[in-house]
Amino acid sequence: MNYLNHATTMLTHSDIAVVGTPHLNTIVYSLYACALGYNIRFNDFNFQYREIEWHNYRFFFETCSQKEELIDLQLHLIESELLQAIGRARVLREDCTVMVFSSLPITGAKFQYFDDIKTPVSA
């Protein structure tokens, strides 16, 4: 669990960085899937990098399963954690910047690619 999600309002109006992708334990995904009535078995879970398409993005991601319903559940839970962390800066009400370094693309974010970053040339 990301400690940033449990911060108080001390981060309001602060420039922050959200670093990492908050993957959850397989047991958490299993419990959510069972509660939602998904027909799953323990061997349905195997973490592996796969090319996926989600929210009009195509990218490689370490998914918890090959089953689409489990991948959607995983991505939803991870996105929820990231959005909660991003929201701690109160970007809609305050003049601040949030930089997100994650392997999950966030809808509405401005993407900065490493190829676009200019490195200073030493003399």
User: Does residue 123 belong to any structural domain of this protein?
Assistant: no
The answer to whether residue 84 is domain-embedded is yes
At 81-93, the pLDDT tens digits run 999 988 887 777 8
Instruction: Tell me whether residue 95 is in a domain.
Output: yes
The pLDDT confidence band at residue 13, using thresholds 50, 70 and 90, is low
pLDDT band at 111 (very low <50, low <70, confident <90, very high): confident
For residue 20, tell me if it sits in a domain: yes
Total domains, the chain? 1
Q: Token match 């970007």: residue?
A: 91
Domain annotation covers residue 122? no
Q: Which domain holds residue 29?
A: 3-116
- Burial per residue of 53-84, b for 16 or more beta-carbon CB atoms within 10 angstroms, e otherwise: ebeeeeeebebbbebeebbebbbebbbebbee
Instruction: Decide if 88 is inside a domain.
Output: yes
Q: Is the pTM of this model over 0.85?
A: no
What angle in degrees, to the nearest 10, is found between the helix axes of 26-35 and 68-87? Answer: 110
In a domain, 26, yes or no: yes
- Nearest Cα residue to 82 out of 53, 50, 55: 55
CA pair distance 45, 83, nearest whole angstrom? 25
Per the domain annotation, does 106 fall within a domain?
yes
